[in-house]
Amino acid sequence: MKIFKFGGASVKDAEAVKNVANILKYFPGENIIVVVSAMGKVTNALERLTDAFYYKKENAEEVLNEIRKYHQQILDQLFPDRNHPVHVEISNTFVELDWAIEEDPSPDYNYDYDKIVSMGEIISTKIVSAYLNEAGVDNKWWDVRGLIQTDNAYREGNVDWALTQYLVDRHLNSYFANNKGIVVTQGFLGGTSENFTTTLGREGSDYTAAILAYTTNAESVTIWKDVPGVLNADPKWFDETQKLEQISYQDAIELAYYGATVIHPKTIKPLQNKKIPLLVKSFLHPEEKGTIINDVQSPLPVPSFIFKINQVLLSISPKDFSFIMEHNLSEMFNLFAERQVKVNVMQNSAISFSVSIDNDERKLPELIKTLQKDYKVLYNEGLELITIRYYDQATIDRVTVGKVILLEVKSRYTVQLVVKNA
């Protein structure tokens, strides 16, 4: 069994969907579970729809019609024959969305969010599955909500691994015991014991691929992307990037944790536990090798860089000039956890504690206000956080040209630098 994951960019238009069929034709006779995301930027559009519906921010029907039009165009190009049953099926699916936005909002925004936003993957998989069948790539459409079970933490569903394993064995694994071929299913979605829809957090389709790989004991997972593999830096911020041939699970976890966006951070651990290799390959050049993440021990051959912009550095010290003690730290971290503020890097001295966090205008002002009750809070905005895995002094010097270093935290393999332009 192989797991293939196709993200939004790989199904963003009719050409892209045709390309998925071509890639699958490279693997005749294999058992493959194809995990598909919503097409293009549809998840963002559905988030807008949810806000339009819930907060009346804009006209929900208009937003929905944009989404409908975008899919209709792809559908018309893939299925010029208007009598093909997929046309009726997709328009029926949109009727569900029409109904959803006619109802009154529920008390729980996140519940409504998952109900609406999840439709992106339902629609994309229906179109992709129908097109593949049309193109001679026989496959079965599968509703992943009957396999991956979560609690009811809407928008951030926590997977119930035991129940998921049971359902995958009972339905999917037993299907593959008697059938060969391709199954097409949704990334990002889960179901609850009461049959409600949940999502696994933005960009969660990689994680879906890992969950299905783990529970089916797959031989590998391939994430098909619009880049040649995992690079040592984001080309958006860096001119000279290099493709990494091979990465250890440990390095991949660290890179994803510090904010490399190629792979969703939750993806690696389940694969590492079963030593299932993860391949990151280009859907434009499927013949090329890409990057393999597996059980090697060797460190990366070149330093890897992760940039986060829009950082705020908070320096927090007790108002009474006492030292920073354990109970202060515990108070602060409780506050961060309550407010869902992620600490990107931290450092403490006797009288002050510093953290760099994302400048989120919905969270920061309130956070500072609360901290100011007991602490003096200095803050510095408009900063960058640079993380270098396998650093050396030369690379530190290179990335900090023209910058002032406000905070530097070094461990054996990783350095984190909070900097501002000089």
Given the rule CB under 6 A, which residues bind ligand ASP?
A: 7-8, 37-38, 43, 120, 187-188, 202-205
Q: Which is nearer to Mg ion, 37 or 149 (CB)?
A: 37
Q: For tokens 């949704």, what's the residue?
A: 186
> Site size for Mg ion, by CB under 5 A?
2
Find the angle CA(214)-CA(215)-CA(217) to the nearest 5 degrees. Answer: 65
* Among residues 10, 19, 31, 37, the one that binds Mg ion under rule CB under 5 A: 37
Q: Which is nearer to ligand ASP, 38 or 127 (CB)?
A: 38
- Min dist. Cβ of residue 410 to ligand ASP (A): 33
CA–CA gap between residue 181 and residue 187 (Å, rounded) = 19
Q: In 3-state terms, what secondary structure has residue 141?
A: strand
- Min dist. Cβ of residue 231 to ligand ASP (A): 19
Query: Which amino acid, one-letter code, is at 136?
Result: G
- Min dist. Cβ of residue 202 to ligand ASP (A): 4
Q: Which residue is nearest to Mg ion (CB)?
A: 8
Q: Which is nearer to Mg ion, 12 or 389 (CB)?
A: 12
CA–CA gap between residue 165 and residue 216 (Å, rounded) = 8
Percentages helix, strand, coil for the chain (3-state, rounded to 5) are 40, 25, 35
Interaction between residue 8 and Mg ion (CB under 5 A): yes
Instruction: Select the binding partner of residue 188 from ligand ASP, Mg ion, none (C-beta < 5 to 8 A, by kind).
Output: ligand ASP
- Min dist. Cβ of residue 206 to ligand ASP (A): 6
Q: Which is nearer to Mg ion, 226 or 338 (CB)?
A: 226
Select the span of 31-39, 210-218, 236-244, 330-338 touching Mg ion (CB under 5 A). Answer: 31-39
User: Which residues, listed in sequence order, are joined to residue 185 by a DSSP beta bridge?
Assistant: 35, 142
CA-to-CA separations, 10 to 34, 35, 322, in angstroms, rounded: 12, 12, 56
CA–CA gap between residue 297 and residue 114 (Å, rounded) = 40
Q: Which residue is nearest to ligand ASP (CB)?
A: 205
Cβ contacts of 399 within 8 Å, gap of 6 or more: 305, 386, 388, 417
- Min dist. Cβ of residue 279 to Mg ion (A): 19
- Min dist. Cβ of residue 304 to Mg ion (A): 23
Instruction: Select the binding partner of residue 304 from ligand ASP, Mg ion, none (C-beta < 5 to 8 A, by kind).
Output: none
Phi, psi of 89 (to 5 degrees): -60, -45
